[in-house]
Amino acid sequence: MVETTGKFHGFSVSLDDKGVALLTLDRAERKNGLTVTIKRELVDWMIHAATNNDIRTIVVTGAGDSFCAGDDISGKTGDAVADPVFTDPLTLGPRNSIRTYNALRLGSQPLSGMMLKMDKPMIAAVNGVAIQSGLTLALCCDFRIASRTARLGSGTLRFALTPDDGGHYLMVKMLGLPGALDFILRNRIVDAQRALDLGLVSEVVDPQDVLPRAMELARELAEMPQVVLRMVKRSLYVAAEATYAQAMEDIAVRTCLTDYHDDAHEGIAAFREKRKANYNAWMDPE
């Protein structure tokens, strides 16, 4: 089995005994800025995490005082980032329009696409600034626990750049078109309380409580019956994009699977016998 814990290019991962993977962006000296290679490494790690039964939920956070300040456009490295484990750096060639087009479609944008396709619950522990692609990274998670000191924004127009990694799409989904226009075109960078008011984060807690609260939520979700939890999560994302008829068809097909799973039999038996259900026994190694 491919190793999914340890040091990777731009991040590290640990796994606790409840099945919670803690993914920490670890370029603190660069405010956890992302590069195309880091994004590709994250995508490949998530593919392996999705198929690893030891991992039930994922918490994403940043080292130091930042969650992620966005793409690192400095052109500098200046840190002892680990070599890629899953991927090789792209040979992009001379800087021009077609290079940017392909780098975005094939190098950067797949990260948000992969996160939005993930069936396992993902929680962002937003411990500091989440700007540009850092904000997108947080918005791609199912839950966002923010520090009272966190600040969130797009900020791309400050550099005459576009929100090209999927953030504009997610902002429209979460804020509506008028709200997204105001947030992005006016370069809003909001504090955690305002982000909570806007619905961009799920909870706001004191700085020292961000990671413990995110881990607590992750462990709560890890104890739930995993098959139906993941099926319901995916059905909600489908419903957000589908017509009523499509959403009903989708949930009907998923129910045909979950109703006959061992966890459903266990849940019904536990209810009848007035005991706590022992879910996920099927995941235990033989």
Q: What is the full per-residue pLDDT of the chain (286 aa) written as tens digits?
A: 789 999 999 999 999 999 999 999 999 999 999 999 999 999 999 999 999 999 999 999 999 999 999 998 776 554 567 788 888 877 777 888 988 898 888 888 999 999 999 999 999 999 999 999 999 999 999 999 999 999 999 988 888 888 889 999 999 999 999 999 999 999 999 999 999 999 999 999 999 999 999 999 999 999 999 999 999 999 999 999 999 999 999 999 999 999 999 999 999 999 999 999 999 998 876 5
pLDDT at 79: 57
pLDDT at 237: 96
pLDDT at 158: 84
pLDDT at 83: 84
Spatial distance between the Cα atoms of 174 and 168, rounded to a whole number of angstroms: 10
Spatial distance between the Cα atoms of 37 and 201, rounded to a whole number of angstroms: 28
pLDDT at 161: 86
| Contacts of residue 199, Cβ cutoff 8 Å, sequence gap at least 6 | 174, 175
Does the pTM exceed 0.85?
yes
Spatial distance between the Cα atoms of 122 and 255, rounded to a whole number of angstroms: 23
Report whether 90 contacts 35 (CB < 8 A).
no
| Long-range contacts formed by 217-220: CB under 8 A, 24+ apart | 217/123, 217/143, 217/145, 218/18, 218/20, 218/57, 218/58, 218/59, 218/121, 218/123, 219/16, 219/18, 219/20, 219/57
The full set of domains in the chain, from first to last, is 6-222 (3.90.226.10), 226-283 (1.10.12.10)
